[in-house]
Chain A
Amino acid sequence: MPTLLEIVSPDRLLLSQPVDMAVIPAAEGEMGVLPGHAPMIVLLRGGTITLHEGGRPTSRLYVSGGFAEVTPERCTVLADEAVPVAEVSRSAAEARLAEADAAYAAADKADIPALEAAMQRQQSARAMVAAAEAA
Chain B
Amino acid sequence: MASLKALRARINSVKSTRKITSAMKMVAASKLKRAQTQAEAARPYAERMQRMLAALAASAAGSPNAPPMLIGTGRDQVQLLVVVTADRGLAGAFNTNVGRAARNAIQRLEGEGKTVRVITVGRKGRDYLRREYADRLIGEYSFAGKKRVEFSDVDEVAARIAAMLAAGEFDVCTVIYNRFVSVISQVPTEAQLVPLPMPEAEPEEKPAGPQAQYEFEPDEEAILAALLPRNMAIQLFRALIESAAGEQGARMSAMDNATRNAGDMINRLTLNYNRTRQANITRELIEIISGAEAL
Contact = CB atoms under 8 A, between A and B. Distances in A.
Interface of A: 6, 8-13, 26-28, 31, 38-43, 67, 69, 76, 78, 80
A43 B217 contact: yes
Nearest to B46: A10
B48 interface: yes
Nearest to B154: A10
Contact of B45 (A10, A26, A31, A40): A10
Contacts of B38: 11
Contacts, number: 74
Main secondary structure of the interface of B (DSSP, over half): helix
A10 B227 contact: no
A39 B215 CA distance: 6
Given A10-B45, A27-B217, A41 B55 contact: yes
B234 A41 contact: no
A27 B52 CA distance: 17
Interface residues of B, number: 27
Main secondary structure of the interface of A (DSSP, over half): strand
A28 B213 CA distance: 20
B211 A8 contact: no
B226 interface: yes
B128 interface: no
Interface in B41-55: 41-42, 44-45, 48-49, 51-52, 55
Interface string B19-43: 0000000000000000000100110
